[in-house]
Amino acid sequence: MALVSKLPSLSSSPSSVTQLRKPNSFNTHPSNSIHYASCSSTSPFTEKHSIRRYERDNWIYKNQLDQSSTCPLPPDSDSVRDYDIVLQPPELKKLLQVLREKRERGGPGAGDGGRGPGNVFLVGTGPGDPELLTVKAMRVIQSADLLLYDRLVSDDVLNLVGDDAKLLYVGKTAGYHSRTQEEIHELLLNFAEAGATVVRLKGGDPLVFGRGGEEMDFLQQQGIQVKVIPGITAASGIAAELGIPLTHRGVANSVRFLTGHSRKGGSDPLFVAANAADPDSTLVVYMGLSTLPSLVLKLIHHGLAPDTPAAAVERGTTPQQRVVLAELKDLAEKVTSAQLASPTLIIIGKVVSLSPLWPYSAKERSILVEAK
């Protein structure tokens, strides 16, 4: 049950910064001492050069990292990605050979009776809270031979992976792709052809802004069976966490998901049509933090009221969740002031005012919600 505390107002405008802290019901596994990168963070996700990433994927750098070194390469060096990939092939080849031998013997996890290729599962892990995993996703995760995981698969979810499984980080973030999409395709194909049960772990739902459709299409063209296990997409999971109904009779009769990414980079949203500014719809923007100022201007230009309620949610459903609530015209400024970081989901529409966290008047005080 949540305890709601009223704090002194941070602003005279109807906006607030809300932090929802949740008890961690999953114990983390003890970690080995690997000091590849000194990046420490409270992020619940796998940041690009975090120590947790290299601890988790230690098998692939076996006997090749100097564990007494604090940081053999600068964490932001352009050569880090190439250095990582150069280290990986020997252990990847060993694992492929083991899986091929298992397949030939027809042992557990060997594929179709030792004869056919293995299966690939595209698994959605939800927005971060491991308790939002489906039962089917849990079963597949715990039976996998190899799991290729993205940045937005939370550490709590990865702690549920079976002891015998191998994990390989293939995440992407702005300015750093540990693997290109084509390289991910080839990894999935090679291990499936070796008879492995391969799980591709994605945050949220694999077919909602997750490029799961591209991976599925590629593998099916190569004759590999692909099974999709849906996850709770961030829009649903985070809206539920805040008590925001994405649709509501008489308030919002539709919901629209929009990517905030620009295909060419920069600060301009990929596409905002006039019909995105529908006052009777709810707009949910994924990956829209960097393009938020431009998005707000375009929505108002197309006719959306400047006082439309809006929310920006960083790391939703995790213990590190932070929320900014503001009118649309003030949202970008408040997000900048709160220094929200990626991943941040943006919800815009009258339904936001139905959240119990929404400050109903300019005099309403900011709210801190802590789970007890």
Could you tell me which residues are beta bridge partners of residue 123?
201, 229
- Active-site choice (57, 84, 145, 150): 150
**How far, rounded to the nearest angstrom, does the alpha carbon of residue 53 sit from its chain's CA centroid?**
15
Cis peptide before 319 (omega within 30 of 0): no
Structure tokens given for 256? 């629209």
Dihedral (Cα; 206, 211, 212, 215), 10-degree rounding: -160
Tell me the two tokens of residue 318.
Answer: 């995790």
Please give the single-letter amino acid code of residue 241.
E
Closest CA to 167 of 31, 55, 65: 55
d(CA 36, CA 46): 14
Q: Report how far residue 35's alpha carbon sits from residue 158's, in angstroms, rounded to the nearest whole number.
A: 20
Q: Are 256 and 295 in contact (CB under 8 A)?
A: no
Query: What's the angle, vertex CA 136, arms to CA 133 and CA 139, rounded to 5?
Result: 95
Catalytic residue among 145, 287, 298, 330: 287
1 is catalytic: no
172 is catalytic: yes
Q: What would the 3-class secondary structure string for 109-136 be?
A: CCCCCCCCCCCEEEEECECCCHHHCCHH
Ranges of H-type helices in 78-177? 80-87, 89-105, 135-142, 155-158
Q: Are 119 and 143 in contact (CB under 8 A)?
A: no
Please give the full DSSP string across 234-268, using - where no structure is assigned: HHHHHHHHHT--SSBTTTBSEEEEEE---TT-SSS
Strand partners, 227: 121
Question: 326-340 in b/e burial notation, b at 16+ Cβ within 10 A?
Answer: bbbbbbbbbbeebeb
Beta bridge partners of residue 371, listed in sequence order: 2
Q: Is 93 designated active site?
A: no
Question: What letter would DSSP give residue 138?
Answer: H
Q: Which residues are catalytic?
A: 150, 172, 287
